[in-house]
């Protein structure tokens, strides 16, 4: 056993050795979400509740219900033959069962099954056990009734027996329940008022993908329009989404047929659009003028299940208007829901008056009442000026009361400001009466412009026979609730220290992202793709009513952008002349010959191995406006720039950021401030354990070939050979010892046999 343990330990050592670690570093995780185990054919889809990612649902007597939501692809229409098989366990218990053997009264346990609010059937049960019930889906339930287009499966328990007997019933809806849908292909619904559909559907059985296509030689305005479209998608979806920014020349036949497409630019620059049935952009019946923006949905001629959107205009101004309108996610349509013409765009005012104290009544709100068991929310929209957002003395005084039907140990309300929770209060018997409570607003939660206060009430009320017919539990916020937001003594730039750990908050000060501009190299698609991913994340984080990002090329940045915007500069340093203008101010100035950070002010610097790709993140106060911030996303190679961008996007890497300077090789991050006494860049960075990653460009990003120092390869090979020799030697010794043991056992057996024979002879 000792020898076997040694062999096992050596094998573990070999598997955990640098050889294996190095091999693992060659694997990269694809960002495309793995689809659930759903069986889909040309006209049929079969899946379980578990495939939808839900947890097991339990219904309790006397009355309760649950619902399950999902979406089918935009080109599916459910047809006859579709069924739902419900599998559930019933448990009936209580003292009443032992009183009378006659259980006919237990028929009072009824389950009502619905699909899209149409009753599929009612099942009555009279004893505990496991049940399976299959219902066909009637034709009147084929079309979803929800505004978001999702289908809804609901189950309700009505156990009136609990009101008359000392009994209780619970029903567990099992996850192996099966939905079997038959469908036929149809054209997607082309309606701009339903955005982000048809490009994205909540809880969809099939995850879709979209390509945003721009001209091969786009102007800054065209890239800027694409960024605002992408930020709008982030605001609408608020989740991971498979999209990619591409130049028109990269759009081959395969990509055309497999993806939804959003063309951002002028129609004349996309020759392939001649195959798409778009209404004429010069149709004078719609009173189109030169500077109008145009949004036009159409079916893809290359795949009828896919959709195409043209975001365009007859001028740069019109193109910008169309992109801004799309970013709102709330496009107004008339007779033709697939087309919209945008005449004007109203941005957030640069100067908003500072109103320091006001009631929600002053905002036009009546008292807000949240009803029903479970979670319910109400929103209050208000505005803050730039002079108020850095205040440390702001508070919200909430005046509220609620019904006495809730379970106080498990009921509470929470306050969210711009998606950030900042207060939670458990409900109690005392707060049934009108209660006034002053809640401080943390610094950094307010934004210049529009702010959204969300009030969420989580009320748990277990129905009883006494309250079953009474009004549902409620929570009321009086319109006398008020805000107090004094003007700050310091500017907005003082809200966050200039530190990478505060990314992206330092770029989300304005509610329309109007504080941010991307500075990009001309003709560098990879840098644009990184900017697209950052724009998507900013949109998802801020959820602007309208996205107002700006873009400029690094060799011609307008003074208006430098002076009024915080800058996110992306690309290799020598491809961005603006970097040379601020190079002496950087925490680690660049050497423009090899695009490496020189680190000349640091005590210790390491030499970067030849061919090693390194990404850099540098943060500094803008020399053009002290209230603005500049973030440089760079690298010594194109791959290095990609590594730096990936660090901002992946949460497991972003969480490691700190200071004003960070270096990464994609697997390890070294951080430091401008006055750090040493650095661990270069040879100190490679060789760490690989962190799971998601590629920035999901569809076509290829694994990066990161070289290792030549001496490391020799060392790894030599180490492996030594370990292998030791294993062989130990194994050889084990075999020799085992053979010797077997021979000794055989000799002993022969001696025992011969002894037995001799004893028999003596007895005879």
- Residue 566's region, left for phi above 0, alpha for psi from -120 to 50, else beta, is beta
CB 336 within 8 A of CB 437: no
CB 443 within 8 A of CB 398: no
Find out if CATH 2.60.40.3080 is the number for domain 192-342. no
Choices 3.40.30.10, 3.40.50.720, 2.60.120.260, 3.30.70.20: CATH for 49-185: 2.60.120.260
Mean pLDDT of the chain: 81
Produce one character per residue of 122-153: b if its CB has 16 or more CB atoms within 10 Å, e if not.
ebebeeeeeeebebebeeebbebeeeebbbbb
pLDDT tens digits for 289-343? Answer: 778 999 999 999 999 889 999 999 999 999 999 999 999 999 988 888 999 999 9
Which of 680, 691, 693, 576 lies closest to 642 in space, CA to CA? 693
State yes or no: cis peptide before 62, omega within 30 of 0: yes
In this chain, the answer to whether the domains covering 49-185 and 492-688 adopt an identical fold is no
Query: Residue 748: pLDDT above 70?
Result: no
Query: Secondary structure of 472-527 in the HEC alphabet?
Result: CCEEEECCCCEEECCCCCCCHHHCCCCCHHHCCHHHCCECCCCCEEEEECCCCHHH
Residue 568 half-sphere exposure toward CB, CA atoms < 13 A: 29
CB 712 within 8 A of CB 706: no
Query: Residue 269: pLDDT above 90?
Result: yes
The rounded Cα 666 to chain-centroid distance in angstroms is 21
Q: Which residue has the higher pLDDT, 751 or 442?
A: 442
CB 444 within 8 A of CB 437: no
**Helix H or strand E segment including 577:** helix 577-582
Confidence of residue 65 (pLDDT cuts 50, 70, 90): confident
Residues 275-282: what's their mean pLDDT? 70
| Angle at CA of residue 731, ends 729 and 737, nearest 5° | 105
Which of 127, 145, 157, 125 lies closest to 57 in space, CA to CA? 157
Specify which of 6-10, 108-112, 278-282, 365-369 reaches the highest per-range mean pLDDT: 365-369
Rounded to an integer, what distance in angstroms lies between the CA atom of residue 222 and that of residue 270?
13
CB 316 within 8 A of CB 223: no
pLDDT tens digits for 212-245? Answer: 999 999 999 999 999 999 999 999 998 889 999 9
pLDDT score for 338: 92
| Residue 465 neighbours by CB distance under 10 Å | 13
Helical residues (DSSP H) of 16-146, grouped into ranges:
18-24
pLDDT tens digits for 330-384? Answer: 998 888 899 999 999 988 777 788 999 999 999 999 999 998 878 899 999 999 9
> CA dist 442 to 139, 158, 393, 415, Å?
53, 46, 8, 12
pLDDT score for 700: 39
Q: Which stretches of 578-614 are assigned E, i.e. beta strand?
A: 590-591, 596-597
Query: Residue 396: pLDDT above 60?
Result: yes
What share of the chain has pLDDT > 70, as a percent? 75
Rounded to an integer, what distance in angstroms lies between the CA atom of residue 453 and that of residue 446?
10
Q: What is the CATH number of domain 492-688?
A: 3.30.379.10
pLDDT tens digits for 238-267? Answer: 888 999 999 999 999 999 999 999 999 999
Where do the structural domains in the chain lie, given as residue ranges?
1-23+709-764, 49-185, 192-342, 357-484, 492-688
Residue with tokens 């038959």: 182
pLDDT score for 671: 78
Residues 566-584: what's their mean pLDDT? 95
| Lowest-pLDDT choice from 9-18, 59-68, 354-363, 376-385 | 9-18
Rounded to an integer, what distance in angstroms lies between the CA atom of residue 361 and that of residue 481?
8
Find out if CATH 2.40.128.130 is the number for domain 357-484. no
pLDDT tens digits for 486-503? Answer: 998 765 555 566 889 889
**Helix H or strand E segment including 645:** helix 638-649
Rounded to an integer, what distance in angstroms lies between the CA atom of residue 326 and that of residue 158?
46
């Amino acid at each position: 056993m000792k020898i076997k343990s040694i062999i096992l330990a050596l094998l573990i050592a070999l598997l955990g050795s640098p050889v294996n670690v190095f091999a693992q570093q060659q694997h990269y995780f694809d960002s495309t979400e793995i689809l659930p185990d759903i069986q889909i054919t040309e006209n049929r889809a079969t899946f379980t509740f578990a495939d939808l990612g839900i947890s097991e649902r339990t219904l309790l007597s006397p009355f309760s219900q649950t619902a399950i939501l999902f979406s089918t692809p935009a080109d599916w229409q459910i047809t006859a033959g579709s069924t739902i098989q419900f599998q559930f366990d019933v448990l009936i218990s209580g003292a009443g069962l032992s009183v009378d053997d006659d259980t006919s009264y237990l028929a009072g346990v009824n389950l009502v099954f619905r699909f899209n609010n149409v009753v599929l059937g009612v099942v009555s049960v009279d004893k505990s056990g496991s049940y399976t019930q299959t219902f066909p889906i009637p034709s009147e339930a084929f079309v979803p009734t929800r505004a978001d287009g999702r289908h809804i499966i609901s189950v309700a328990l009505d156990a009136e027996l609990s009101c008359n007997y000392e009994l209780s019933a619970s029903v567990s809806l099992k996850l192996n329940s099966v939905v079997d849908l038959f469908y036929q292909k149809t054209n997607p619904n082309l309606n701009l008022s339903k955005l982000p559909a048809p490009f994205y559907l909540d809880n969809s059985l099939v995850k879709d993908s979209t390509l945003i296509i721009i001209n091969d030689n786009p102007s800054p305005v065209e890239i800027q329009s694409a960024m605002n479209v992408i930020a709008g998608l982030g605001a609408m979806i608020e989740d991971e989404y498979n999209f990619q920014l591409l130049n028109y020349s990269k759009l081959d036949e395969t990509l055309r047929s497999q993806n939804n497409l959003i063309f951002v630019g002028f129609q004349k620059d996309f020759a392939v659009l001649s195959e798409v049935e778009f209404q004429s952009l010069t149709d004078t019946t719609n009173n189109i003028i030169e500077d109008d923006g145009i949004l036009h949905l159409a079916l893809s001629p290359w795949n009828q299940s896919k959709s195409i959107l043209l975001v365009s205009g007859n001028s740069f101004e019109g193109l910008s208007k169309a992109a801004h309108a799309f970013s709102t996610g709330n496009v107004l349509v008339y007779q033709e829901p697939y087309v919209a013409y945008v005449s004007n765009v109203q941005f957030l005012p640069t100067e908003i008056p500072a109103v320091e104290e006001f009631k929600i009544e002053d905002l036009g709100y009546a008292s807000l009442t949240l009803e029903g068991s479970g979670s319910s929310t109400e929103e209050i929209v208000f505005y803050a000026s730039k002079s108020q957002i850095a205040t440390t003395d702001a508070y919200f005084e909430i005046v509220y009361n609620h019904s006495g039907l809730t379970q106080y140990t498990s009921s509470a309300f929470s306050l969210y400001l711009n998606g950030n929770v900042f207060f939670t209060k458990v409900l109690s018997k005392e707060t049934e009466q009108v209660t006034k409570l002053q809640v401080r607003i943390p610094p950094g939660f307010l934004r210049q412009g529009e702010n959204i206060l969300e009030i969420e009430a989580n009320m748990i009320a277990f129905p009883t026979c006494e309250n079953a017919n009474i009004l549902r539990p409620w929570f009321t916020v009086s319109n006398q609730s008020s805000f107090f937001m004094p003007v700050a003594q310091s500017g907005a730039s003082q809200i966050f220290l200039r530190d990478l750990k505060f990314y992206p908050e330092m770029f989300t000060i304005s509610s329309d992202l109007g504080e941010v501009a991307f500075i990009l190299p001309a003709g560098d698609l990879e840098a644009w793709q990184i900017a697209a991913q950052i724009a998507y994340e900013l949109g998802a984080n801020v959820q602007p009513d309208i996205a107002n990002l700006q873009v400029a090329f690094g060799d011609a940045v307008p003074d208006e952008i430098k002076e009024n915007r915080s800058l996110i500069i992306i690309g290799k340093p020598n491809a961005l002349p603006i970097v040379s203008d601020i190079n002496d101010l950087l925490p680690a100035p660049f050497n423009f010959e090899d695009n490496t950070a020189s680190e000349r002010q640091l005590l210790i610097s390491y030499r970067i191995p030849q061919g090693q790709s390194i990404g850099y993140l540098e943060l500094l106060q803008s020399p053009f406006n002290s209230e603005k911030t500049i973030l440089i996303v760079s690298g010594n190679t194109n791959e290095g720039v990609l590594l730096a961008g990936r660090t901002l996007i992946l949460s497991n890497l972003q969480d490691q950021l700190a200071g004003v300077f960070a270096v990464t090789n994609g697997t390890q991050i070294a951080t430091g401030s401008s006055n750090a006494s040493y650095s661990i860049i270069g040879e100190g960075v490679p060789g760490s354990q690989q962190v799971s990653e998601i590629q920035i460009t999901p569809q076509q990003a290829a694994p990066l070939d990161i070289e290792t120092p030549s001496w490391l390869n020799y060392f790894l090979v030599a180490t492996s050979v030594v370990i292998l020799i030791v294993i062989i030697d130990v194994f050889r010794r084990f075999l020799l010892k085992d053979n010797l043991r077997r021979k000794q056992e055989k000799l002993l057996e022969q001696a025992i046999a011969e002894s037995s024979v001799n004893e028999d002879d003596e007895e005879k």
